[in-house]
Amino acid sequence: MDHWSRSAVIYQVYPRSYKATSGSVGDLPGITAKLDYIAQLGVDALWLSPFYRSPQKDAGYDVADFRDVDPLFGTLEDMDALIARADKLGLKVIIDIVPNHTSDQHVWFQEALNSEPGSRARERYWFRDGRGDGGELPPTDWESVFGGPAWTRVPDGQWYLHLFDASQPDLNWENPEVREEFESILRFWLDRGVSGFRVDVAHGLMKDPDLPDWHHKSWMVSGQDETEAPPAPMWDLDTVHDIYRDWRKVLDEYDAMMCAEAWVMDDERRSLYVRADEFDQCFNFSFLSSPWTASDMQATIRSSYEANARVSATTSWVLSNHDVVRLPSRMGLAKTGKGPNGIYAHDPQPDHDLGLRRSRAAHLLMLALPGSAYLYNGEELGLPEHTTLPDKARQDPTFYRTKGGEGGRDGCRIPLPWVSDKPYAGFSPDGSWLPQPDGWADFAVDRQENDPNSYLNFTRTALAYRAKYDLGRQEIRDESGDGVLDYRVGPLRMIVSFDEETVVPEGWRVLLASSPVDDVIGTDTTVWLTAEPQA
Ligand code: GLC
């Protein structure tokens, strides 16, 4: 039997925004209280974004202690309780590991700041002398992904590298001590019962040790956007794979899995991460970034399967996460695809109805594709982006570091609505760390549970059929014609119409449709068809 992760549906929980038992930030006991809800969705596992001790300069992706829970979220005992309850419900727990950088409050970085240039403590990071007569210029011209320079100067004149915020110094993975420390961190959590890791910025750990100049923009999370730019000295270096071969050996002792967050847009390069002795999964960000057209989607699906087949891996489909504009909003923009980094109130606003219709169609497409799939919390509710957040409420460092040039990711991180007539839509009795937009309660879980046509019930039904027909493990055959996608997935047939209508083919019956269908499948609609007679 293949490893469970090859066909799993994994639900991403963003702890800050999931459910708060008190205060304005979500917490681990809140998540534990909602595990029954997660199990009822029909997913196999949950992935928790960081809950580690952290000053929260990048919403927890700035980790000060990888072996402890931030008091904001609870305690280690709360985490143990979460894992135990998940286990009872048959849910696996995957956690985020952030190996590219630490927080500037991590003991290692504090020690480095208090140590001499060239000291062992500084060798755990990338400290360098500056250029120019007095060393007043940064060692390279690299830009931070979050905007602004990727180097910050310390009082004794040296500079340290941070590909993200200045509070997130990059670790030096040439250093064996760093490697040992992370293997020990993996074991710490595996011993506590987690089933695997989502590896943050997996393609960024190794840097060209010569530190050559490279003056190109690495956009937030999309890695290198300019296809004509020379290979980046910090992204997707061949040497990065050795790290994961070592990790694989540790994980195998526990039968655990790992998934790479590697914003590598070339399918061949990305497939290298899922070779047999490395990752089990790598997010398919080509799929997430693909414009919503028949030809783009078809080409992405085909080339993803082809590239991964060469290394005998499946594909991990993903449409949303905590870094991109929420799907129904992205799908309602004039230009579909990965979308901008946030939407401002003064930007052209998404077409809500069109976006929702396409988003349902895209979900039904994704959930029939063999391989594994990810759902970001709130995706099952059809939550839109908050597109009118006041600037004073924004927290994402990308907003501040780009001086407002990019709105940032707060709009996809709004605390979830659970109960329509409770304060903060049932997220917390006390508050919400980001303001919820008007109408948020209309999306609340309690409302959707009672509506047979709701996004929630649609997602549950899709997941139930996916399980019944074992779609994650079937063979797929592409029989698409022009403008319409047509796939056989095991016993089922899936048709996705984009800007053209098409008729339901003879001999087939609609099992599930993303929008109402009679004999005609309307535009922006996906249907799952069966040849079985009606029971
Ligand atoms: C990843 C995370 C993102 C974070 C960044 C730096 O891309 O998904 O949220 O800001 O890494 O850790």
Of all protein residues, whose CA lies closest to atom 7 belonging to ligand 1? Answer: 221
Q: What is the pLDDT of residue 330?
A: 97
315-334 pLDDT, tens digit per residue, is 999 999 999 999 999 999 99
CA 295 / ligand 1 centre spacing (Å): 30
pTM: 0.98
Ligand 1 pocket, CB under 6 A: 58, 61, 98, 164, 200-201, 221, 261, 322-323
List residues bridging with 496 in a β-sheet: 485, 526
CA 203 / ligand 1 centre spacing (Å): 12
Superfamily of domain 4-102+176-459: Glycosidases (3.20.20.80)
Q: What is the pLDDT of residue 510?
A: 97
Q: What is the pLDDT of residue 223?
A: 46
CA 397 / ligand 1 centre spacing (Å): 11
Which positions are annotated as active-site residues?
Answer: 200, 253
CA 14 / ligand 1 centre spacing (Å): 12
Q: What is the pLDDT of residue 188?
A: 98
What are the two backbone dihedrals, phi and then psi, of residue 328, each rounded to the nearest 5 degrees?
A: -60, -25
Mutate to test the pocket of ligand 1, among 199, 221, 401 (most ligand atoms within 8 A of CB): 221
Cα-based distances in Å from 89 to 46, 82, 96, 336: 12, 11, 21, 37
Counting as low any pLDDT under 70, the low residues of the chain are 1, 219-228
Angle at 245 between CA 243 and CA 249, to 5 degrees: 115
CA 533 / ligand 1 centre spacing (Å): 48
Q: Which atom of ligand 1 is nearest to the CA of 165?
A: 6
Domains in the chain: boundaries: 4-102+176-459, 103-170, 475-530
Mutate to test the pocket of ligand 1, among 12, 17, 58, 171 (most ligand atoms within 8 A of CB): 58
Which residues have a Cβ under 8 Å from the Cβ of 392 and sit 6 or more positions away? none
Distance of CA 521 to the CA centre of its chain: 31
Q: What is the pLDDT of residue 220?
A: 54
CATH architecture of structural domain 475-530: Sandwich (2.60)
Distance of CA 236 to the CA centre of its chain: 18
Helix (H) or strand (E) holding 506: none
- Residue 32 structure tokens: 């534990």
Contact 35, 499 (CB under 8 A): no
Q: What is the pLDDT of residue 522?
A: 97
| Fold (topology level) of 103-170 | Oligo-1,6-glucosidase; domain 2 (3.90.400)
Q: What is the pLDDT of residue 266?
A: 92
Of all protein residues, whose CA lies closest to atom 3 belonging to ligand 1? Answer: 323
Q: What is the pLDDT of residue 361?
A: 98
What are the two backbone dihedrals, phi and then psi, of residue 85, each rounded to the nearest 5 degrees?
A: -65, -40
221-247 burial string, b = 16+ CB within 10 Å, else e?
A: bbbbeeeeeeebbbbbbeebbebbeeb
Mutate to test the pocket of ligand 1, among 16, 52, 61, 325 (most ligand atoms within 8 A of CB): 61
Which residues have a Cβ under 8 Å from the Cβ of 276 and sit 6 or more positions away? 311, 312, 313
Of all protein residues, whose CA lies closest to atom 2 belonging to ligand 1? Answer: 200
Q: What is the pLDDT of residue 1?
A: 60
Q: What is the pLDDT of residue 353?
A: 98
Q: Which atom of ligand 1 is nearest to the CA of 322?
A: 9
CA 320 / ligand 1 centre spacing (Å): 14
Of all protein residues, whose CA lies closest to atom 12 belonging to ligand 1? Answer: 61
